[in-house]
């Protein structure tokens, strides 16, 4: 897939973006370490935009979705799902489910996207933690 994983290239999963958007202590750390730091490329899988819009809508915050998504698009490179990525994601989901039964196809998509770009995946998802290129910071 991509080249080696570097700290200068990270992929924020839905959790990481939610923490940043909420301004939580974890989100503030992520902001300082990656978004407010020159020389760090932040990537977002398009699937996370769907997950975030669903979360906002479920909380009655539909009106905030356009500005939220616009902010993420300004702060990161949003990567769309391709056919090849979808195939890899399906394989990864099967592997992840051997460890955590609740691993979703979205988990596979996010991990496959990070790996395709040689990025460290920023996540605390139990299905993803423990992978060599995944961490909470």
| pLDDT (tens digit per residue) in 76-120 | 999 999 999 999 999 999 999 999 999 999 999 999 999 999 999
Instruction: Say if residue 1's pLDDT is above 60.
Output: no
pLDDT at 7: 60
The mean of the pLDDT values for the chain is 93
Is the pTM above the cut of 0.85?
yes
DSSP 6-61: EEEEEEE-HHHHHHHHHT-HHHHHHIIIIITSTT-EEEEEHHHHHHHHHHHHHTT-
Strand partners, 10: 42, 120
- CATH architecture of the region 6-127: 3-Layer(aba) Sandwich (3.40)
């Amino acid at each position: 897939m991509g080249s080696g994983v570097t700290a200068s290239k990270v992929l924020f999963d839905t959790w990481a973006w939610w923490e940043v958007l909420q301004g939580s202590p974890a989100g503030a750390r992520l902001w300082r370490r990656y978004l407010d730091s020159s020389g760090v490329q932040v990537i977002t899988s398009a699937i996370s935009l769907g997950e975030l819009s669903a979360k906002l809508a479920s909380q009655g915050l539909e009106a905030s979705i356009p500005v939220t998504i616009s902010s993420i698009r300004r702060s990161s490179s949003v990567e769309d799902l391709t056919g090849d990525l979808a195939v890899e994601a399906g394989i990864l989901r099967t592997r992840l489910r051997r460890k955590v039964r609740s691993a979703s196809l979205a988990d596979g998509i996010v991990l496959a996207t990070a790996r395709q770009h040689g990025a460290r995946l920023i996540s605390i998802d139990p299905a993803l933690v423990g992978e060599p290129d995944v961490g909470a910071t």
